[in-house]
Amino acid sequence: MIEQNPTQRLPILRDLEPELVEHLDPLVRIVDLEPEQVLFVEEDDADFMFAVVSGRLNVFRRSEGKDVYVRDLTFGEAGGITSLFLTQPRSATVVAAEPSQVAVLNKEDLDKAMEREPALTRALLRILSKQVRSGGKSMAHLLKGRQDDRVQVAVFDAKSYDQVALSEVAPEEWNMHYIDPRLNRETATLAAGCKIVCIFVNDVADRETLEILADVGVELIALRCSGFNNVDLDAAERLGISVVRVPGYSPYAVAEHAIALLLALNRKVHRAYQRVREGNFTLAGLEGFDLHGRTAAVIGVGGIGKVLVRNLQGFGMKVVGWDAYPSKEFSEETGMEYVSFEEAIKQADVISLHAPLVKETYHLINEVSINSMKDGAILINTSRGGLIDHDALIKALKSGKISAAGLDVYEEEAGIFFEDLSAKVITDDVLARLLSLTNVIITSHQAYLTTDALNNIATATVSNIKEFLDGKRKDQLTNRVV
């Protein structure tokens, strides 16, 4: 039978936004049942939910070979809610006690609708979670009934190279769910039934996203990177979700990429490459300078910074460093002098950023700090985009205060980096301006991308997960983020 706004006949879905109701209306069917007609039988696969529109249904459960009456279902009462997220056996038999109507929503149809409209997933989870909590159960508890008992790991923003690296080291008994979209509050429900979520630098684990993850049963977030500024650690702690990271995977990969950017910018390799391809073999405008004898400032002398110091010294450069925790031992070993941030950028011909992004380092490179730099300095950033105020950087690049910039990261890179946008217009005006400048080289957060680093990331990530599965307490996890 044809029904106007059938979604409105499902009481638990009445709170859906009107634009989302439009996606569900074509999917909801109104089914007429005659007295004693069976809606489904206990142990059948549960692949649809239902709600009573009119009439009365009897619920029976099998006990000692007999169907035992349990209760009635009347107007507005619903069943099979968790079947929208997973397939499991029916826990009872439902039969019409009198002429009745039920509204039915199939899991397969809903899955397709949620793929077309991600906001629908989030809205449904919110409503269904509220429904099951009112019955004294959490969504996480209900999802424990999934048929696959293997370890379930949801890997978000999973590119082909991530999948290859993780698949080579993850135990065969683990079920790795490789998910192409990044984690955020719209996609968090894709982790339903997984105890572990694995994310990367541009995934967003803010408070609302974490609340959804906790509700679907997630207990561990395994970062496959060293940075953790994209995770609300306070919310994770409150929700009982542990967070682990990969503190270092290949400092050589990142340090060497910083060197590659520096050499390309200084010797105008990117411009020379384009000229020669066009048949232009002139040299005017391609002048660089010897690195030997110049001064470099390494901002953040951690694992990567220490490797870079040695690399730069190999070119015969004088290197100064700034770090929140200076190492006297490293200074004595290498001869590198620790100085204040202001003194470091004042001396340097080359400045390379390797500091973490925290409150104290946000927009460390800004109009004030740029004005104190040596005229014509080259700036390299392979750490985090938020270390730089890019409007101030553009102004300095146009004036010549900064002669060139090599950027492997960008503050607003989420949704841009790692994606193919070649057929689209770049709508980020700041990034578009940077791309237009000939004294700028931008790479798409690839400094870490070597086969060695990918293997190290995968190995460390799997090790972090194994520690968690072995039952270690939060404070015992080797690479726990606090």
Q: What is the pLDDT of residues 93-107, one digit of tens each?
A: 999 999 999 888 888
pLDDT of residue 138: 46
Residue 299 scores a pLDDT above 80: yes
* Res. 264 pLDDT band, cuts 50 70 90: very high
Buried b (16+ CB within 10 A) or exposed e, 255-265: bbbbbbbbebb
- CA distance linking residue 82 with residue 63, whole number of Å: 23
Question: At 442, is the secondary structure helix, strand, or coil?
Answer: strand
pLDDT of residue 47: 84
| Fold topology of 151-249+454-476 | Rossmann fold (3.40.50)
The answer to whether 384 is a known catalytic residue is yes
pTM above 0.85, yes or no: no
6-133 — its CATH code?
2.60.120.10
- CA distance linking residue 191 with residue 213, whole number of Å: 7
Least confident of 10-24, 162-176, 299-313: 10-24
- CA distance linking residue 152 with residue 159, whole number of Å: 18
- Locate all alpha helices (DSSP H) within 56-148, ordered by sequence: 107-116, 118-134, 139-143
Q: Using alpha carbons only, give the angle 51, 55, 58 rounded to the nearest 5 degrees.
A: 75
pLDDT of residue 96: 95
Q: Per this entry, what is the length of the chain?
A: 482
* Mean of pLDDT values over 298-320: 97
Per the DSSP assignment, residues forming a β-bridge with 318 are 295
Q: Phi/psi of residue 70, each to 5°?
A: -110, -55
Most confident of 15-19, 246-250, 261-265: 261-265
pLDDT of residue 411: 95
- 51 or 406: which leads in pLDDT: 406
Identical fold for domains 151-249+454-476 and 251-442, yes or no, is yes
State pLDDT tens for residues 388-407: 999 999 999 999 999 999 99
As given in the structure block, the two tokens for residue 197 are: 């979520």
As given in the structure block, the two tokens for residue 415 are: 């949704």
* Res. 186 pLDDT band, cuts 50 70 90: confident
Going from the C-alpha of 450 to that of each of 194, 200, 256, 416, 441, the distances in angstroms are: 29, 16, 11, 21, 19
As given in the structure block, the two tokens for residue 157 are: 């923003």
Q: Which residue in the list 9, 211, 445, 467 is annotated as catalytic? A: 445
* Res. 464 pLDDT band, cuts 50 70 90: very high
* Mean of pLDDT values over 428-446: 96
Query: Superfamily assignment of 251-442 in CATH?
Result: NAD(P)-binding Rossmann-like Domain (3.40.50.720)
* Mean of pLDDT values over 202-216: 92
The answer to whether 150 is a known catalytic residue is no
- 449 or 121: which leads in pLDDT: 449
The answer to whether 433 is a known catalytic residue is no
**Maximum separation of any 2 CA atoms in the chain, in Å:** 93
pLDDT of residue 87: 59
* Mean of pLDDT values over 301-317: 97
Q: Where are the domains of the chain?
A: 6-133, 151-249+454-476, 251-442
Residue 259 scores a pLDDT above 80: yes
Q: Which residue in the list 211, 411, 413, 467 is annotated as catalytic? A: 413
- CA distance linking residue 343 with residue 37, whole number of Å: 84
- CA distance linking residue 235 with residue 218, whole number of Å: 13
Across the chain, mean pLDDT equals 88
Q: Which residue in the list 384, 390, 411, 467 is annotated as catalytic? A: 384
